[in-house]
Amino acid sequence: MLLVRVATVSREVAATSSRSRKKALLAGLFREAEPADVPVVIPYLAGRLPQGRLGVGWKTLRGPVPAADGASLSVLETDRVLTALKAVSGPGSQAERVRLVTGLMSRATEEEQAFLIALLTGEVRQGALDAAAADGLAEASGAAPDDVRRAVMLAGGLAPVAEALLAEGPGALERFRLTVGRPVLPMLAQSAASAAEAVERLGGAAAVEEKLDGIRVQVHRDGDEIRIHTRTLDDITDRLPEVVAAARELGGERLILDGEVIALDEDGRPRPFQETAGRIGSRADVATAARAVPVSPVFFDVLHVDGRDLMDLPFTERHAELARLVPGPRRVRRAVVDGPGGAAEAERFLAATLERGHEGVVVKALDTPYSAGRRGAGWLKVKPVHTLDLVVLAAEWGSGRRSGKLSNLHLGARTADGGFAMLGKTFKGMTDELLRWQTERLQELAVEQHSWGVTVRPELVVEIAYDGLQRSTRYPAGVALRFARVLRYREDKPAAEADTVETLLAAHPAVAP
DNA sequence: TTCCGACAGTGGGGTCGCAAT
DNA sequence: ATTGCGACCCCACTATCGGAA
């Protein structure tokens, strides 16, 4: 198959807002693909590279390359070049990457170039990715959409399912079963404003579990063989020797466990997320990193035990197995609440959890199965929200559906000398109406136009929600906001009454520099 | 007919490893 | 030794389509 077919279909998918039309377009091309093309075409149309990321980003792709006149590049030739690109390393590798990319681009038409750039940067914004591709695959193969999605989730990706389905038909789906050693997409949680609201929404008995601010892991044990995967299924086994050792101490020979890895102090209090993340990101000298910042696994779910799949069982039953296999200190603390006092009890558990230094809680329905790969309504996370009144210092032009709108705000707090210190940026929490309004308002306040946006007179006050402070080397106060989002503008409030760096630091003494 | 679940898009800060400077 | 890029951790929120109610 020629690359131009994929590029054209991607453009057509992007052009329609109808999801059923997107699905039909994807299905059409899936049917058209030869068996040899399938492992490449399927990921391409889901906006992914079969090789994963290649070490090529915007900067590497910046040089414009004259486009080819006619479409001659095949999907498989493209894939061969990108496989070669992935293998490049060592001194001179950057020049070699540029050489390979330039060679590929020079053989591509303008439309193909645009698609390749989007693919390489991971920004194929066609309004249809994993879920749409799975549905398209179902339509193309005649399999039931739910069965395809389940197989994709169990396989950890679309490509193997697509190959089997298109070669053998719907019967091939039976092969995709939960397998120890093969990671499954983890279940995610929705958000709730309070523990009481979460209990209310679940309507009935619920488990309230502490939410640890670490790295999500899925641990597979097959006898002495241990594998550890992240939320995106990356294998990080080699970075976590102490977690491997801990997993060997558990009950059961063949297990799949879900949990969090976190750095704790001697007294069991959590260290800042930045320390856990730095430790788990360290690959070069694991032994040294592990001595400096040891981490612990803490589990909250189990998907498989010694030949029995537990994913479809109610949480209560899965947790009973977990308690049998994993000792208390290696399990997340929890309380089961029920009845009229349940909401209040959940709030008390949340308060106690925060007191111990943790991030919040996850409230879980007791009767729901493990919805792998989904943001299930049976898990609701609750974290405390802080707010500040900050001053807009600048705003950046948005992209995509926000083109032509001032979107990303630079946020400042007042300083002792009467100026403002930037604490971070945010683009979150804005409705289309608010984007329109702030674009107009900020243009009125603009003192300087840049290619990236505008700087403004520091007069507009905006109420910001955030999850906490983190240390920063980038911002002048030495701290930055974590997960900042807009709640509302405070036109009633002059900038002179906005919050100060001093009060912010006082509110987060543990993080203050 | 209205409601709501699921997806995709729009980007945020930090940290590490690696290559280039 | 420092700097810049890319990958990958953490992530919140809104708009929209289409099936559920």
Distances (CA, A) of A191 to A258, A332, A381, A482, A484: 19, 19, 5, 17, 16
pLDDT digit string (tens) for chain A, length 513 residues:
999 999 999 999 999 999 999 999 999 999 999 999 999 999 999 999 999 999 999 999 988 999 999 999 999 999 999 999 999 999 999 999 999 999 999 999 999 999 999 999 999 999 999 999 999 999 999 999 999 999 999 998 899 999 999 999 999 999 999 999 999 999 999 999 999 999 999 988 999 999 999 999 999 999 999 999 999 999 999 999 999 999 999 989 999 999 999 999 999 999 999 999 999 999 999 999 999 999 999 999 999 999 999 999 999 999 999 999 999 999 999 999 998 899 999 999 999 999 999 999 999 999 999 999 998 889 999 999 999 999 999 999 999 999 999 999 999 999 999 999 999 999 999 999 999 999 999 999 999 999 999 999 999 999 999 999 999 999 999 999 999 999 999 999 999 999 999 999 999 999 988
Model pLDDT, residue A445: 98
Using C1' positions and the CA of A485, the closest nucleotide is C12
* Residues 336-375 of A, Cβ under 7 A from nucleic strand C: none
Model pLDDT, residue A513: 85
Distance, CA of A349 to CA of A211 (rounded, Å): 11
Amino acid at A207: A
What's the CA angle centered on A245, arms A240 and A248, to 5 degrees? Answer: 130
The reply to whether the CB atom of residue A431 sits less than 7 A from any atom in nucleic acid chain C is yes
Tokens, residue A3: 């690359």
Using C1' positions and the CA of A127, the closest nucleotide is B8
Distance, CA of A329 to CA of A268 (rounded, Å): 10
Note the CA–C1' distance, A462 to C14, in angstroms: 18
* Residues 118-177 of A, Cβ under 7 A from nucleic strand C: 122
Please choose, from the candidates A358, A178, A166, the residue with its C-alpha nearest in 3D space to the C-alpha of residue A260.
Answer: A358
Distance, CA of A136 to CA of A27 (rounded, Å): 4
Distance, CA of A158 to CA of A161 (rounded, Å): 6
Q: Which residues of A are annotated as a binding site for ATP?
A: 209, 216, 231, 260, 300, 375, 381
Model pLDDT, residue A156: 87
The reply to whether the CB atom of residue A235 sits less than 7 A from any atom in nucleic acid chain C is no
Cα A226 to the center of its chain, rounded Å: 24
Amino acid at A124: V
Which residue has the least CA–C1' distance to nucleotide C8? A281
Note the CA–C1' distance, A430 to C13, in angstroms: 8
Active site residue A211: yes
Model pLDDT, residue A63: 85
* Residues 179-198 of A, Cβ under 7 A from nucleic strand C: 191
Distance, CA of A359 to CA of A467 (rounded, Å): 9
Distance, CA of A484 to CA of A493 (rounded, Å): 20
Which residues have CB under 8 Å from A435's CB, separation 6+?
A: A398, A402, A405, A406, A407
Using C1' positions and the CA of A53, the closest nucleotide is C7
Distance, CA of A372 to CA of A188 (rounded, Å): 8
Note the CA–C1' distance, A233 to B15, in angstroms: 19
* Residues 368-407 of A, Cβ under 7 A from nucleic strand C: 381, 383, 385
Tokens, residue A71: 């479409």
Other beta carbons within 10 angstroms of residue A512's beta carbon come to: 16
**A468: helix, coil or strand?**
strand
The reply to whether the CB atom of residue A206 sits less than 7 A from any atom in nucleic acid chain C is no
**A395: helix, coil or strand?**
strand
Model pLDDT, residue A369: 95
Q: E strands within A192-278?
A: 206-211, 215-222, 225-229, 254-263
Distance, CA of A401 to CA of A144 (rounded, Å): 33
Using C1' positions and the CA of A434, the closest nucleotide is C14
Note the CA–C1' distance, A184 to C4, in angstroms: 35
Which strand C bases fall within 7 angstroms of a protein CB? 4-19
For A354-389, give the DSSP string: HHTT--EEEEEESS----TTSEEEEEEEE---EEEE
Model pLDDT, residue A40: 96
Quick check: A193 and A84 in contact, CB under 8 A? no
Please choose, from the candidates A116, A122, A123, the residue with its C-alpha nearest in 3D space to the C-alpha of residue A102.
Answer: A116
CB-facing half-sphere around the CA of A289: CA atoms within 13 A: 19
Which residue has the least CA–C1' distance to nucleotide B10? A427
Which strand B bases fall within 7 angstroms of a protein CB? 5-20
Using C1' positions and the CA of A425, the closest nucleotide is B12
Q: Tell me which of A22, A23, A211, A425 is the catalytic residue.
A: A211
Quick check: A397 and A453 in contact, CB under 8 A? yes
Distances (CA, A) of A345 to A56, A341, A354, A363, A366: 51, 6, 14, 12, 16
Which residue has the least CA–C1' distance to nucleotide C16? A17
Provide the pairing of β-strand A375-382 with A453-456. Answer: unpaired
Note the CA–C1' distance, A452 to B5, in angstroms: 36
Distances (CA, A) of A22 to A13, A45, A116, A147, A383: 5, 11, 20, 20, 37
The reply to whether the CB atom of residue A60 sits less than 7 A from any atom in nucleic acid chain C is yes
Note the CA–C1' distance, A223 to B11, in angstroms: 43
**A399: helix, coil or strand?**
coil
Amino acid at A190: Q
> Measured over all CA atoms, what is the biggest interatomic distance in chain A, rounded to whole angstroms?
72
Provide the pairing of β-strand A375-382 with A254-263. Answer: unpaired
Provide the pairing of β-strand A295-305 with A308-309. Answer: antiparallel
Note the CA–C1' distance, A72 to C11, in angstroms: 42
